Amino acid sequence: MKERLLVTSALPYANGPIHFGHIAGAYLPADIFVRFKRLNGADIVFICGTDEHGVPITLSAEKDQISPKEYVDKYHKVIKGIFDKFNIRFDSFGRTTHPDHYDLTQEFFMNLLKKNLIKPSMAKQYFCASCNKFLADRYVKGTCPKCGHNKARGDECTSCGSWLDVLELKEPSCGICSSVPELRETKHWYLQLQDMSAQLDQWLSEKKHWKENVITWVRSMIKEGLKERAITRDLSWGVPLPLDNTEGKVLYVWFDAPIGYISITKQWARDIGKPDEWKKYWLDPSCRVMHFIGKDNIPFHCIVWPALLMGQVEGYNMPYDVPANEFFNLDGRQFSKSDGWYIDIEDFFTRYKTDSIRYAIAANAPETRDSDFTWKDFQGRNNSELANIYGNFVHRTLAFIIKYFDETIPQQPAKLSEPALKAREEAHRLIDEISSCYNNYEARKACFLIMEMGRLGNRYYDSEAPWATRKSNPDRCAETIGFCTELISYLAYVSYPVIPESAAKLWRMLGNMTEIDMIPWDRIKTIRPAGFKLKNVAILFEKIEDEQIQAEIDTLLKNCEKAGGVKPASPAASTAAPASGPVVNIDDFRKLDLRIAKILEAEALPKSDKLLKLRVSVGGETRQLIAGIAKHYQPQQLIGKNVVIVANLKPAKLMGEVSQGMVLAAKNGDVLALLGPDADISDGSQVS
RNA sequence: GGCGAUGUAGCUCAACUGGUUAGAGCAUUCGGUUCAUACCCGAAAGGUUACUGGUUCGAUUCCAGUCAUCGCUACCA
């Protein structure tokens, strides 16, 4: 039976454009996975859309003097445009302001309410009369009761970092208009997460296949104890409560957002003219639901969202897996438009190709820990991997066919020679390995193995030297080139999930009539392109010049400076480590036995370029020291010198030689200088 | 503050439940080759696995502590 999957990527918040960090965490990995699974014949629906409610949107809209609706319309389009540029293909890119979504969200609420998993309760909250709205904690400003800082936020003091209860804040003012808010009683509804923790824990305990970081993190959260959580707020923008006398109250955005996964699937079903089709994915238990997210979303998708699903009567499929990625930063710091620490995506695509960036991100994806985008890395991935290894292997082979085989892929002999058979075996092994990487969300390793295949091709090509056999052994030459095109077919195919556009283009260059994504994965090993006439052969990946990358780096730094952001420390500023560290007392210092030693003999250690073996005299005693100073001193120039050594250092073995102490030297970058006494003094003298 | 993660070659990362000499790629140096996008192929060099202690015949791996970096801490999506 066909594998059936419903894959989602976290719904981006329609409050601004998304950046590389988002792409690397939740979207590109999902797109690669979906493309791979489709090649394997899986029946998949890939869902995403914009999350369009919540306070930040209302505030941003106000700032721009447009309605929230106009505001999210704008960003829905902007974000969709970005996904198109990245060639991330959702079956449906919906939105949470769709009427279907309102209906379904209210249904979710009512079901939970009936099961007593949502309960109302009264709370005190600041209300700003001039803004005519209740204020979320973080929008109340005031004086911190702990440190007296006068610009503390209601949830946290920005100066001392303490956690605050908004009610203990002194001299509160409205964070939006600065007028004095009043305390009002208001009724809110709370999700009773604590009542579901046993059920959630039981459910999670079965998730043996989840990523370890996800499962341990979530289960420890449950162990710490779940608390009820407010799901409503006083606002006009959002899904209204489906109860009487609750005007001005909407469901909190986090409550309605994940429900979007289902409501958008419904929108999709309607769009394709089969309104019940969504049930195959959400109600049929054979379908696996997978949520690709960034790590910041783990609690929502592994606790809150399953809890919402458990409280329903429909019997929706629970998440089968939640592949969460870590963060993708820009050279060590989170992307931040307000700090000028960002890359303008529109601008980016005027100069670079989609597949270059897809590859660069995938090859460096934050699968197990945070990772970085750097311009240098991007250039390196593009030039030395895509262009030099992958692109060049393709090009040298195809150019050869054009020149010497009349643009037609030569036939391979019925029985291949030994080197080709060995290379084929290796290539087939790589295909299997790449397949399992894609299955395990290891795009990064898959990229590496794709390049391994490219290297395999180049190695084979070099060892066969078809440019020589062309004259000496034309049959062998034809076999070589024929087999290289077989390798290129593999290469195009296995790289398709990551670089779909280039792979498809390459596939067509080889003269294939069938589109690459119509070939099932289990047939790929039998592909034998021969007799095809090449079509539209062209360079796949252009190189990126150093000057251009430097210009990008300069632009980034300039933007950062303009925004008043902190410029990253220039590595050229200082090579010496700052003179600081833990403070020691005099007793600690006295533990060191520092002595003057006279160097009697010095010789280089044969197998080391850094170490010198010294014989020194310390007050009549002779010792052997190993010192890492060979790059800075010739053995001869050391003989007779007085130096300072640590005499009571525990002896250590370096390169098989015992070192009974340590010679002191000062170091700054590449400069190194030995310490010695200012005047002549006998060896063995104590240093204090 | 609490919880968690991470720290391995100049850079980016590997190393299943502890087990020969800690591995790749990029960058570097040297050599080869000329079909190709000045590419490719080969070789070399490069490490006190953050630090300190413990368990063990044996620790990058397990434990404790220290330092550093980062994340989450749920009315910031």
Nucleotide B2's nearest residue (CA vs C1') is: A224
Nucleotide B45's nearest residue (CA vs C1') is: A609
Residues A68, A15 contacting (CB under 8 angstroms) = no
Which residue intervals of A191-258 are DSSP H helices?
A: 197-205, 212-224, 253-256
Looking at this predicted complex, what is its ipTM? 0.88
Q: How far apart are alpha carbons A530 and A512 in whole angstroms?
A: 10
CA–C1' gap, A652 and B48, in angstroms: 10
Q: Which nucleotide is nearest to A370 (CA to C1')?
A: B70
The pLDDT of residue A369 is 79
Q: Is A429 near strand B, with its CB below 7 A from some atom of it?
A: no
Q: Is A464 near strand B, with its CB below 7 A from some atom of it?
A: no
Q: How far apart are alpha carbons A527 and A393 in whole angstroms?
A: 18
CA–C1' gap, A424 and B26, in angstroms: 27
Q: Is A462 near strand B, with its CB below 7 A from some atom of it?
A: yes
Q: Is A274 near strand B, with its CB below 7 A from some atom of it?
A: no
The pLDDT of residue A626 is 66
Rounded to two decimals, what is the model's pTM? 0.80
Q: Is A246 near strand B, with its CB below 7 A from some atom of it?
A: no
Q: Is A580 near strand B, with its CB below 7 A from some atom of it?
A: no
- Shortest CA distance to A646 belongs to which of A668, A675, A670? A675
Q: Which nucleotide is nearest to A135 (CA to C1')?
A: B75
In chain A, positions 53-112 with C-beta closer than 7 Å to nucleic chain B are 54-56
Q: Is A359 near strand B, with its CB below 7 A from some atom of it?
A: no
Strand order in the sheet with A133-134: A133-134, A118-128, A182-191, A229-230
Residues A644, A595 contacting (CB under 8 angstroms) = yes
Residues A222, A202 contacting (CB under 8 angstroms) = no
Q: Element (H or E) spanning A298, and its range? A: helix A298-299
Q: Is A685 near strand B, with its CB below 7 A from some atom of it?
A: no
The pLDDT of residue A556 is 83
CA–C1' gap, A535 and B13, in angstroms: 38
CA–C1' gap, A61 and B8, in angstroms: 49
Which bases in strand B are touched by protein, i.e. have an atom under 7 Å from a CB? 1, 3-6, 11-14, 25-27, 32-37, 39-42, 45-48, 66-67, 70-77
CA–C1' gap, A86 and B42, in angstroms: 38
Q: Is A149 near strand B, with its CB below 7 A from some atom of it?
A: no
Nucleotide B72's nearest residue (CA vs C1') is: A296
CA–C1' gap, A656 and B20, in angstroms: 18
Which stretches in chain A have pLDDT values below 70? 156-164, 564-594, 603-613, 620-621, 624-638, 645-675, 684, 686-688
Q: Is A396 near strand B, with its CB below 7 A from some atom of it?
A: yes
Nucleotide B66's nearest residue (CA vs C1') is: A582
- Shortest CA distance to A261 belongs to which of A27, A104, A106, A74? A104
CA–C1' gap, A384 and B43, in angstroms: 20
Q: Is A50 near strand B, with its CB below 7 A from some atom of it?
A: no
The pLDDT of residue A648 is 58
With a CB cutoff of 8 Å and minimum separation 6, the contacts of A177 are A128, A130, A131
CA–C1' gap, A32 and B50, in angstroms: 36
